[in-house]
Amino acid sequence: MGENMSLINNIIKMFIGVIVLVIGIVWYTGPSMYGYLGYWNNLKDLLKATIGIFLLFVGLIVAWMGYDDYKMDKEMEKEEKKEETK
């Protein structure tokens, strides 16, 4: 029963996320008072501005995960050596 509720909650969250995404796309590509292209230029500027920060955070997360894995491997190595000496 608990797994089903968790599954339903996750589906609801994904559905809400898709709705917000569609609203955001329509906001930037929809009709505009100033021209027939809508806010397409604003969307392009936003994407250009966020790609760098996105890459920065993804690189930071990947490097952090690699460091954490390295640290865990060293710790496991120490534990194995401890068990061998016992």
Instruction: Report pLDDT digits (tens) over 8-41.
Output: 888 888 889 888 888 777 776 766 555 555 677 7
The per-residue pLDDT for 26 is 74
Other C-beta atoms closer than 10 Å to the C-beta of 52 total 9
Residue 35 located in a structural domain? no
Q: Are residues 52 and 26 in the same domain?
A: no
Q: Are residues 45 and 74 in the same domain?
A: yes
The per-residue pLDDT for 33 is 54
pLDDT, one tens digit per residue, over 33-76 is 555 556 777 778 888 888 888 888 889 999 999 988 888 888 98
Other C-beta atoms closer than 10 Å to the C-beta of 39 total 18
Q: Are residues 69 and 47 in the same domain?
A: yes
- Does the predicted TM-score (pTM) go above 0.85? no
Residue 83 located in a structural domain? yes
Q: Are residues 25 and 55 in the same domain?
A: no
The per-residue pLDDT for 31 is 64
Nearest to 25, CA basis, from 44, 7, 6: 44
Q: How many domains does the chain divide into?
A: 2
